[in-house]
Amino acid sequence: MSVVLAYKNFAANRNISHIGLGVAAINTAKVLRRSGIRADVWPILSASDLRKKLGIFPAEHVIISAPWIPAVELHALANDFPETTFAVNCHSNVGFLQADRNGVKLMREVMELEMGTHNIRLAGNSRRFCYWVKSAFGAECVYLPNLYCLNREPVPRRPFESGTLRIGVFGATRPLKNLMSAAGAALEIAHSLRVPLELWLSAGRAEGGGETILGAVREMLNGLPGVELKMNGWQSWPSFRKTVAHMHLLLQPSYTESFNMVTADGVAEGVSSVVSDAIDWAPRDWKANVDDVLDIARVGRRLLCDPRSVQDGWRALEKYVEDGLLAYQQHFATR
């Protein structure tokens, strides 16, 4: 069994990338390899790049991260490599697709290709997305979730008591990430605990109105004593994990998600997250009302005082990965 996880990467000539799809791919490959499945990650620039690599290194399964290869080129690949199964894996739930018109177009074209070929599949990394495709279009959609490679379970952390409170709200700055609510909750937590606040945000990925969001956050925090906004430049994944480990708490109250790598990184580094119901694998008591800033703050204060909360997150993520691995094995078995 040979599996290729291919994603579009403008840094492919350096054979490494730390963009989200690349991090997701390497984690998934690690979990698959641990289970005895040979999986490789290919950063590619185009369909022709994928074709060249398959000509040298044939694979039984190619999982393409996100719909971006034109349907005509994907069809040609399927015809030229009839013994390879190609799955186009959508890495967004339905709500996030509103920002990717071309992705929606390609998703629908893949549905048609699946009907007309024996080796093209539409997939999604969210069960909710897959159920929607089947119910709305009557089409098949394979569930191929993000897998996260967990190593040593983190030791319980001491509850936060005093000093500067470091809260991270990481990820690309997009409207659906709900950054303003997260920043407002962080401010309320620090105010109620009467401690200085460092609010850490990701810099360099403001998209779809992201600069307006950052401007609003700055206006809310500007001039407040004991409040410092830390803009964290886009980092390599290992460096970002170290930044995450430096936090006391993460806030990820997204309006819509399909996995959320930042929350998983927090689990791996022993840091809990306040999340929304969109991040369905997270523990129930990590979840807050996405449109209630005080509820986000309430859950955050409780997690700061619970030394075992990250163990709950670890077990939840571990179970999610176990279930996800079964989904991959089922997909490979029905080739």
| Any domain includes 28 | yes
Model confidence band, residue 325 (pLDDT cutoffs 50, 70, 90) = very high
Residue from 287, 231, 230 nearest 254 by CA: 287
Burial class (CB in 10 A: 0-12, 13-18, 19+), 73: middle
Residue from 48, 45, 57, 37 nearest 7 by CA: 45
Q: Are residues 35 and 108 in the same domain?
A: yes
Q: Are residues 141 and 191 in the same domain?
A: no
Whole-angstrom Cα distance, residue 159 to residue 138?
A: 49
Q: Are residues 104 and 206 in the same domain?
A: no
Contact between 194 and 223 under an 8 Å Cβ cutoff? The reply is: no
In terms of residue numbers, what domain contains 68?
2-147
Model confidence band, residue 10 (pLDDT cutoffs 50, 70, 90) = low
Count structural domains, the chain. 2
Whole-angstrom Cα distance, residue 14 to residue 103?
A: 26
Look at the alpha carbons of 30, 32, 36, 42 in this order and tell me if their dihedral is positive or negative. negative
pLDDT confidence of residue 13: 45
User: What's the CATH number where 264 sits?
Assistant: 3.40.50.2000
| Any domain includes 153 | no
Q: Are residues 177 and 100 in the same domain?
A: no
**Contact residues for 105 (Cβ-Cβ < 8 A; gap 6+):** none
Q: Per-residue DSSP letters for 137-154?
A: H----EE--------SPP
| Any domain includes 332 | no
Burial class (CB in 10 A: 0-12, 13-18, 19+), 267: buried
DSSP 3-state of 188: helix
| Any domain includes 160 | no
Q: Are residues 196 and 106 in the same domain?
A: no
Q: Are residues 176 and 227 in the same domain?
A: yes
Q: Are residues 39 and 170 in the same domain?
A: no
Q: Are residues 109 and 216 in the same domain?
A: no
Q: What is the mean pLDDT of the chain?
A: 93
Roughly what angle, to the nearest 10 degrees, separates helices 210-221 and 179-193? 20
Contact between 5 and 65 under an 8 Å Cβ cutoff? The reply is: yes
| Any domain includes 67 | yes
| Any domain includes 115 | yes
Residue from 188, 184, 183, 199 nearest 231 by CA: 199
Q: Are residues 142 and 192 in the same domain?
A: no
- Reported pTM: 0.93
Q: Are residues 292 and 169 in the same domain?
A: yes
| Any domain includes 280 | yes
Q: Are residues 170 and 313 in the same domain?
A: yes
Q: Are residues 262 and 179 in the same domain?
A: yes
281-324 pLDDT, tens digit per residue, is: 999 999 999 999 999 999 999 999 998 999 999 999 999 999 99
